[in-house]
């Protein structure tokens, strides 16, 4: 597995388009994780338990990591970045799953 194989997998072309637009920051400047998560929730109709609660802006978002994907051969700084990013996403409310 290599870093060039990581990509977006979505349940529909609409979901993929919404995610790509968020990743490409096509909604303007000054985006934050909170505003992007709010946009994704609105576009994908993800219910929020409490719209005023920003402590978990990615609640309802699922992120899959392929089981075959490995950063073991990467430099330590890449391993740290990968681990820290996954943890930050999880801390923000996303569900991180290993995909067989």
Q: What whole-number distance in Å separates Cα of residue 42 and Cα of residue 45?
A: 5
DSSP state for residue 49 in the 8-state scheme: S
Q: What percent of the chain has pLDDT over 90?
A: 0
Q: What is the reported pTM?
A: 0.48
Residue with tokens 């072309």: 13
Tens-place pLDDT, residues 14-52:
777 777 666 665 545 555 555 666 666 666 665 554 544
């Amino acid at each position: 597995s290599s870093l060039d194989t990581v990509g977006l997998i979505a349940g529909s072309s609409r979901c993929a388009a919404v995610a790509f637009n968020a990743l490409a920051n096509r909604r303007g400047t000054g985006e934050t994780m909170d505003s992007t998560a709010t946009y994704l929730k609105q576009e994908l109709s993800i219910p929020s338990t409490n719209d005023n609660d920003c402590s978990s802006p990615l609640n309802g978002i699922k992120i899959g990591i392929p089981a075959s994907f490995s950063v073991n051969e990467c430099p330590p700084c890449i391993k740290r970045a990968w681990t820290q990013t996954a943890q930050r996403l999880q801390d923000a409310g996303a569900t991180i799953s290993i995909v067989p």
